[in-house]
Amino acid sequence: MIKGCFACHRLQLSTSSGSSPQTPAAYVGCLWLYTRHSPLHHQHWHLRRQHRQATRQPPRRQPVQATSSSRIASCPEAKQVKQELQRALQGADRGIFGLQVRRRQEILDVLERLEACNPVAAPTEHLDQVAGDWRLLYTTITIQGSRRSRLGLRQMVSLGEFVQSIDIDTQTAANRVDFNVMQLASGTFSVEASYQVASPTRVDIQYATSAMVPAKLDAFFRRNEANYDLLLAIFNPEGWLETTYLDETHRIGRDDKGQIFYLERRS
């Protein structure tokens, strides 16, 4: 017995003995069974069309390109997401000293929603929008762990603003943080790195130099290289960095180590 269906283009030839269907030797037979003159043709065609519409994937949302005037197009949802992110980050101290897993995931979820609203598809083609000073609002890099190194740093040091200054003319990024050691001495830690554009969204970073002033604090920190290396890691001085969100006031980056950086432009 021949069974055919125009909607699925399948043809099965089975015997009355109930044996397995044979090779569909003539899909064209299915088309022949339901010709345009058959009312079944119209019924199955309608069902097939409904199936295509139901299973059709929505078009992938593409970020809005910056305009020719180099101004960044705004995303209507971004303002609301930023407000949610601001509330989520209250009391987080930029995440540097660690957060509970649940709260950390909540922040990441909001960051991903903001990334989905990225208005600039190719940020490295609009580096003039990246140039300037930015302050760190949140990072997944944490200073915590063994008492000898990471916890020791947290108990000894109070960290001020983390600031990144990007110079597109020299293709360099200067990072600095002010800190206070046990309320006894203040200092500044700075890291300089160069960058090269690697893709429309990514730059390769090359460490150049780092310094801590005053000199006595530099000597104090270098007694434990683990603490010094942790400060370096916060600024990601080596590897690559991909900009996943950029507008006139905020920026999100992800590096080759799986870390996330959320920054705000300084006024």
List the chain domain ranges.
2-55, 78-265
At 74 the pLDDT is 56
Judge if pTM exceeds 0.85.
no
Q: How confident is the model at residue 4 (pLDDT cuts 50, 70, 90)?
A: very low
**138 pLDDT above the threshold of 80:** yes
pLDDT digits (tens, 9 = 90+) for 168-219: 999 999 999 998 877 778 889 899 999 999 999 999 999 999 888 998 888 8
At 22 the pLDDT is 45
Q: Which of 235, 178, 170 is nearest to 209 (CA)?
A: 235
Two structure tokens written together for 76: 């209507």
Fold annotation for 78-265: Lipocalin (2.40.128)
Q: How far apart are CA 73 and CA 85, in angstroms?
A: 20
Q: Confirm if 174 and 190 have CB atoms less than 8 A apart.
A: yes
Q: How far apart are CA 125 and CA 165, in angstroms?
A: 18
Q: How confident is the model at residue 145 (pLDDT cuts 50, 70, 90)?
A: very low
At 60 the pLDDT is 40
pLDDT digits (tens, 9 = 90+) for 101-131: 999 999 999 999 999 999 999 999 999 999 9
Q: How far apart are CA 234 and CA 142, in angstroms?
A: 8
Two structure tokens written together for 208: 């150049």
